[in-house]
Amino acid sequence: MTILLDIDGVMVQAKSWSPAPQHEDGFSMFSSKAVDALNSIINKTNASILLTTSHKNSFSISEWYGIFNRRGIQVGKIDRLPQNQNRVSRYQEIMNWYSKGDHVQDFVIIDDDKSLNGLPEHLKLRLISTTPLVGLTNEHVSKSVSILNTPLELV
């Protein structure tokens, strides 16, 4: 099971008028509500994280483990989409990942990017769309867990 995870607008509230508070490690603090919600999803499913965020290549995988750990999130595996050298949209990045066919069957996409509403229906059904000013909350947990527990072919 895999969580395709964005950061800004999901784990960090995206407020255009105010920069996000920084942790001493130099990366944004995560919302406590988002941390609780993500921990709940991981605890109920043992899902791994596949970073889709624009920050995905700003840190090594081992540094990402540290970032999540310092914010109170224990995850067994963290990976990331390839570097977005062609500057394609998040929609296109996810479609490229999906089209490679080496993905897991049980995944959920947690993101605030509205372009993802254009995903093909079978993928859109796996999308948890957050509100950038709020981010991931406990209201998203049960749907995320349900999606992760439903094989792709049954969606």
Report the CATH number at residue 17. Answer: 3.40.50.1000
**Distance of alpha carbon 153 from alpha carbon 155, whole angstroms:** 6
With tokens 């605890």, the residue in question is 43
Is the CB of residue 11 less than 8 Å from the CB of residue 37?
Answer: no
Residue holding tokens 């224990």?
74
**What percent of the chain is predicted at pLDDT more than 90?**
74
Taking only the tens place, the pLDDT of each residue in 138-148 is 999 999 999 99
pLDDT in tens, 10-46: 999 877 677 777 888 889 999 999 999 999 999 999 9
By CB neighbour count within 10 A (0-12 exposed, 13-18 middle, 19+ buried), where does 51 fall? buried
For residue 121, the one-letter residue type is E
Residue 155 has pLDDT above 50, yes or no: no
> pLDDT tens, 113-136?
999 999 999 899 999 999 999 999
Contact 135, 11 (CB under 8 A): yes
Which range of residues forms the domain containing residue 77? 2-154
Mean of per-residue pLDDT scores for the chain? 91
How many residues comprise the chain? 155
Q: What's the domain count of the chain?
A: 1
